Structures are given as C-alpha cells and as structure tokens.
Amino acid sequence: MGTVYIDGENLTLQEVEEAALKGARVELSPQVESKVNLCRKFVEGIVEREETVYGINTGFGKLCRVRIDRDQLSRLQKNLIKSHSAGVGRPLSIPEVRGIMLLRVNLLSKGHSGVRLELIQTLVKMLNLGVHPLVPEKGSVGASGDLAPLAHIGLVLIGLGQAEYKGKILEGKEAMARVGIEILNLQAKEGLALINGTQFMSSIGTLSLLKAIRFCKLADIAGAMTLEGVLATPAAFDEGFQRVRGHKGQKESADNLRRLVEGSQIVESHKNCENVQDPYSLRCMPQVHGATRDALRSVKSVLTVEINSATDNPLIFPQERKVISGGNFHGQPVSLFLDLMGIAVSALGNIAERRIALLMNETQSGLPPFLSSESGLNSGFMIAQVTAASLVSENKILAHPASVDSVPTSANQEDHVSMGSIAARKAREIVNNVENILAIELLASAQGIDFRVPLKPGRGTEEAWRVIRTVVPKLNQDRILAEDIEKVKKLIDEGKIIRRVEEKIGRLN
C-alpha cells in the first residue's frame, strides 16, 4: 500500500481509489504549504482592514448582504457548519467518505480557499488515522456544491457530529480525542471553505466509474462465454468489419471477444452449420459494449478535471489581490456526465440480461430448459433470469437523468441547481445492479459451457470458466442461487476473473 501525495493539481482517479478504498496513506506535497499560507495571509489582511467580502465577513446565500462584526467571525463559521448539517438518509460508505475527504484536501491545497494549513493537515490526519465522519447520503442539490453532506464532515473537525473509528460509531469529539487530533476553532472563511464544492458527487462518481470501466472487460468475458454456450459464431467480430465503422470502443470490445474465444473447439464444432445470423445480444456486443466504453471515457475525462478543480466560493487570488464570488461550485459539468455514466452502464446490463434469457431458451440455445438437465423437477436458472430482469427494469427508472431537474433554493438566490448528488447516487446504484447482472450471466454461461464438454472453450473463456468453478460447482440439482451469485460477485470485487484471464491471454482493452 503506497502513499498518495497531494498538491492540488495532479490527483488521479486511481489515487482516489487507492486512498478511499484501499487505505493508502495521504501526504501533502512540499509546495502546498507556501501556496496555502500566502492565500491565508491575504484573507487575514481583509479581516484586519475590515473590508466587506462575501463569505469572510458576511452572511451566506440570500443573507450575503448582512455584515458580520469582526469578533463574531469564528462563531459565524461554526454556525455555518451546524446549520448546514441537515442531511438525511443512510450514511455513505467509508470509502465514499474517505474519497470526499481526500478530494477536499486536494481542493484546499490549491491555495485559493484561504484556510489555514492546520485545517488541511487535520483532514489528512483523520484520513491516515481512520476517523471517518458519518455523512447522510441525501440533502444536496449540487449547488452551491454539496453543502449538507460536506457540512457533516466539518462537524467532526469542530468536535460535533459522529464518526466511525475502528468499526465503532463515536461522538465526533471522542473519535478525535482517541487518535490525538485537536479540535479546530474555525477562523474567517474556513467553514465556508469546507462545504462549497462538488466533492460528494465526485467521490461517489469516481469510485463508481472505476468499477464500471472494469465491468466493460467483464461484460466481454461473460458475453464470450455465452456465445460459446449457445453455439454462436464470432464471425461478426472480424477486425476488418469492425474497422470500417471506426468507433474506438467498438474495435476494443471486438478485439477482446476475438481473443477470448481464440482456440475454441466449441466454435470450431459448428463452423459450417446452417445458422447464418445470431441474435443482436451476441452479434452486436462490440457495438453496445463499445458505446459504453466510449461514454465512460468521456466521464473519466470530466472527473479527472473536476477532482483537480477549484470549486470553492469565493475564490481567492492573492497574487492578483482579488476575491471573486462566482459559480465554480455548480455541479452541472459533473451531473450531466454522471447521468451519462448511468445510462451507459444500464446498456451493459440490458444486453447481458438478454443473453441470460437466451441461455434459458432451449429453442434458441440448444441447451436444456433453464440450463437444468432434469428440468421440471428442477427449475435451474429460471429465477436468476427473473432477478436480472428485475435489475434491468430498475435501472431503466434510475437512468432517467437528474441533471435535467432544478429546484430553486435559498429564497431564489440559488435559483438553478445541478442535482449532481442524485446523479451520483443513481449511477452508483446502476453500477451495483449491473455487477449482479454480470454475476448471473457468468454463472449461467459457465453452466452452458459445462453442457458442451468435452469440447474446450477458448483460451480466455476457459480460464474464466475455471475460476468460476473454483467457487461454484456445476448446478446439477436446485440449490440456493443467491449464494452462488454472491460468490461470483466476490470474485468480481476481488478482480480475480479479469486478472486470471489476462494472465492467460494478455491484457484486455
């Protein structure tokens, strides 16, 4: 487990995953201190001169015209954190909270927020020592950023709220005391700097995106196994045929599919059969899987920019001696593309469910009904396909874009919002649903290959089949399929299927 170095400019999506999901240590790069101190000195000068500047010595939102006395500035910031901690719903997962905290550290390290270095260092200590604020998942409209959830993180810094530490839920003050982190007395601008921005939607979006990207490879593996199980042909994946359309993702997926079934005795066994066209769910895998790949590439590009962006408000430019109150906190750039991610990943689930249904249908597949050699007495995979159908139907509802909605807030001062947090949560749910759909297809397609023994599958598909069979045996008699699905899902989470296949045939696109 390595170290993630934060400089405010060069954080990668993979580093977010390393720190959030795998617990990598976080450290500030040397150049952060000078940037942060320069900006803080400028803010302190504003306070000294008693200039009126939004967020430093005024109220917030619609109350921006209310001037706050100098001796009340610390109380103003503390009140802001308390009043904005209005989230509801179940808590976010620990990795999602860690992702938010890491992204907030990166934002504040850019040197445009005006906080003390001490505040950033406190967040870093919390990450490294495992103090994770409890953050309700609902309550943000995505402008002025993710106010409510980010405020719940701020609560713990000032000794309020609750936090998870070593599996226990503690009061914020106690959690901080257990690891020896001092409670902060927020100074001018610091409360606002903790809650303005898109780190909630960006954390959930990043962790979901990286899973979704891996699922593109997994969908190719599952689809290739289904193709062999139902005696379909890879002829439509021909390199020249794919090249004449030109979409990058389509060509990548087709290349994967060709390589996965290379050397397949199953494919060779029916090479001269009368069937000249396969159903779309098989023949069009490169086009559908590839479109998802291309969409996710766009999402990756947007999130890579966003996690290194200054999304606080107001932003401070000490060298130009300027403070600008604008709208960099607005989540629309992220919200639109998280909606796109949800739609794109839903497509992977839709086509996978159709392949599962194909495996169930003895007329089309040439396999026993519902993949059971004693069908009637046994129901086989009948209800596993129903589960997949349920999940794709749910995804169709979840894929409706959140970013087309807006509800004015703060007495119409904040009269257009992005709903980015909702887009992020929907995308996360869709990704999780598709993981289960792909687990079902992997189970069913492995069963299909079992019925083709002694013919051997392709080099890649055979390896995937063997990995699955290490945790789930062939289904000869009905058993609890939920347990089988969970076992394959664990293989997916651990990356074992993709890893073993790539060790066999080389890196997949």
| 304 touches 311 (CB < 8 A) | no
Backbone angles phi, psi at 109, to 5 degrees: -75, -10
Rounded to whole angstroms, what are the CA distances from 203 to 262, 279, 288?
Answer: 39, 38, 27
Instruction: Report the candidate in 384, 502, 493, 357 with the shortest Cα–Cα distance to residue 443.
Output: 384
User: Active-site residue numbers?
Assistant: 54
Q: Is 453 helix (H, G, I), strand (E, B) or coil?
A: coil
Is 391 exposed, middle or buried, given 0-12, 13-18 or 19+ CB atoms closer than 10 A? Answer: buried
Q: How far is CA 297 from the centre of its chain?
A: 13
Cα dihedral 356/359/360/364 (nearest 10) = 130
* Other CB atoms within 10 Å distance of the CB of residue 430: 28
CA atoms of 148 and 417, how far apart (whole Å): 14
What per-residue string of b and e applies to 156-174 under the rule 16 or more CB within 10 Å gives b?
bbbbbbbbbbeeeebebbe
Helix, strand, coil percentages for the chain (3-state, nearest 5):
60, 10, 35
- As a residue count, the chain comes to 509
Q: Tokens at residue 103, please? A: 């992204």
CA atoms of 166 and 23, how far apart (whole Å): 13
Is 268 exposed, middle or buried, given 0-12, 13-18 or 19+ CB atoms closer than 10 A? Answer: exposed
CA atoms of 417 and 409, how far apart (whole Å): 8
Beta pairing partners, 315: 324
Q: Tokens at residue 453, please? A: 């023994």
